Amino acid sequence: MSDSYDVIVIGAGPAGYAAAIRCAQLGLNTACIDKEIGKDGKPTLGGTCLNWGCIPSKALLDASHKYMEATEHFEELGIKTGKVSMDVKKMIARKDEVVAGLTGGIGGLFKGNGVTQLSGHGKLLAGRKVQYTDHNGKASELAAEHVILAPGSVPVNIPPAPLSGTQIVDSTGALDFDSVPKTLGVIGAGVIGLELGSVWARLGSKVVVLEALDEFLPMADKRIARDAKKVLEGQGLDIRLGARVTGAEATGSGVNVTFDDKDGAQKLTVDRLIVAVGRRPYTEGLLAPDCGVNLDERGYLFVNEYCATDAPKVYAVGDVVRGPMLAHKGSEEGVMVAERIAGHKPMVNYDCIPNVIYTHPEIAWVGKTEEQLKADGEEFNVGTFPFAASGRALAANDTTGMVKVIADAKTDRIIGMHVFGPQASEMIAQAVIGMEFDASAEDFGLTMFAHPTLSEAVREAALGVGGNAIHMMNRKKR
């Protein structure tokens, strides 16, 4: 191990590993320090996303979706099966295999690109020195021309619901249930609560979601949030809004939960409880007091639009800095910083970050909602198209939801797209590309899409902005 590098990255989640790989590709002598220990007890790479977040949750969402299809919808297609049952341990083991494959893959990319991988804890000292402590407690001091901090985030714990082994768990614990709980409580109807609640509801849990806010998914399109709530309730999620949890106690046989709603104090007993009330930036043991990096008032590392901290040549990226806690946002920041260190001038377009909730149907959006645009006093036109009118969605027996395209009233430039439907996570990329290239709704309408595809709904919604949709009556007459 050398003790001097062009770049030291602390954290190997999507923000840190992308930064390290890009630095190495650009010819910078780079080391990446990460302290994470995987489920197998060995050092791992990929951070929350690969080990405890995006990937394992999607492995469980995809498996449970297939189970739900088999138990509830195969018959509609003429497919007869015997009794379908779920081997939860096998589902979890497969999820672990997917995680192992991908985390190992990051190790391969580090080796292939020449990134020095250091397993252990990193702490930024003054003058871009970094204290590295390996898993045996052996400390050494390294020096770097540039330092990139990417320590990520951890789940928020709330005092009324302290975690308790296997009964009251956070999102990480909810990825490893060994059986399907008969009854499951979820605190928080945010992205993580809805995704993990969906997994276990699909497998047969009776799920109650307790959400303190009165509004469901306030950041999403209002109509889509309303439709999504109904559909998720139809899938067995009992979503209670205006329900603030005040206490939770594991009793051995179950969890006694108390909460306040508009009718006063309430009680609920469930087999297990998932606490999914958000995540907070993680900076424990990261900064020496004289290192020059400052936090903002909410505990995030303070950075400018290029992710530079207050300390010269020290950058911070990913969940630990302002902006949505999303893997792709962190990776973009990591790559931007690497390229800026190498003398290029990229920037991250924070107005063009896709958001996805991987329920079924999926909810995805980019840009502003109608409600936000109205509040900002902006004029716009809207086109919508329901999947019930899509040939491909009908063929696939998956017709719930719609696409909404929003375009600026004066320029016709697309300023938002909101999708509730099958593969919304894939379709949203079309709007992201369109918005990055300043496309108008008319441009989308002039583009040929393969038939029959779900994506045709995007084109039809874009045509609808000008009152020109072919496969439905237009809201706006020409």
Distance of closest approach, residue 217 Cβ to ligand AMP, in angstroms: 9
Cβ closer to ligand FAD: 222 or 280? 280
Count of C-beta atoms within a 10 Å radius of residue 288: 15
Partner interacting with residue 268 (select from ligand AMP, ligand FAD, none; CB below 5-8 Å by kind): none
210 binds ligand AMP (CB under 6 A): yes
Which helix (H) or strand (E) element contains residue 431?
helix 424-436
Is 418 part of the annotated catalytic residue set? no
DSSP alpha helix (H) spans, 174-214? 191-202
Partner interacting with residue 326 (select from ligand FAD, ligand AMP, none; CB below 5-8 Å by kind): ligand FAD
| Catalytically annotated residue among 146, 418, 451, 471 | 451
187 binds ligand AMP (CB under 6 A): yes
Q: Select from 151, 361, 383, 466 the one that contacts ligand FAD (CB under 6 A).
A: 151
Rounded distance between C-alpha atoms, residue 57 and residue 195, angstroms? 8
Rounded distance between C-alpha atoms, residue 229 and residue 212, angstroms? 15
Supply angle C-alpha 419, 424, 425, rounded to 5.
125
Contacts (Cβ under 8 Å, ≥6 apart) of 230: none
Partner interacting with residue 359 (select from ligand AMP, ligand FAD, none; CB below 5-8 Å by kind): none
Q: Widest CA span of the chain, in angstroms?
A: 73
Partner interacting with residue 220 (select from ligand AMP, ligand FAD, none; CB below 5-8 Å by kind): none
Rounded distance between C-alpha atoms, residue 27 and residue 113, angstroms? 9
190 binds ligand AMP (CB under 6 A): yes
57 binds ligand FAD (CB under 6 A): yes
Distance of closest approach, residue 79 Cβ to ligand AMP, in angstroms: 37
Partner interacting with residue 285 (select from ligand AMP, ligand FAD, none; CB below 5-8 Å by kind): ligand FAD
Nearest of 413, 140, 442, 156 to residue 280 by alpha carbon:
156
The stretch near ligand FAD (CB under 6 A) out of 74-82, 148-156, 234-242, 303-311 is 148-156
Distance of closest approach, residue 122 Cβ to ligand FAD, in angstroms: 4
Which helix (H) or strand (E) element contains residue 234?
helix 222-234
Residues 267-306 that bind ligand AMP (CB under 6 A): 276-278
Instruction: Report helix, strand or coil for 177.
Output: coil
Contacts (Cβ under 8 Å, ≥6 apart) of 382: 370, 404, 405, 406, 407, 464, 465, 475
Instruction: Report helix, strand or coil for 296.
Output: coil
Q: How many residues bind ligand AMP (CB under 6 A)?
A: 16
Question: Encoding tokens for residue 275?
Answer: 């606490």
Cβ closer to ligand AMP: 148 or 326? 326
Distance of closest approach, residue 350 Cβ to ligand FAD, in angstroms: 15
Q: Catalog residues that contact ligand AMP under the rule CB under 6 A.
A: 158, 187-192, 210-213, 244-245, 276-278
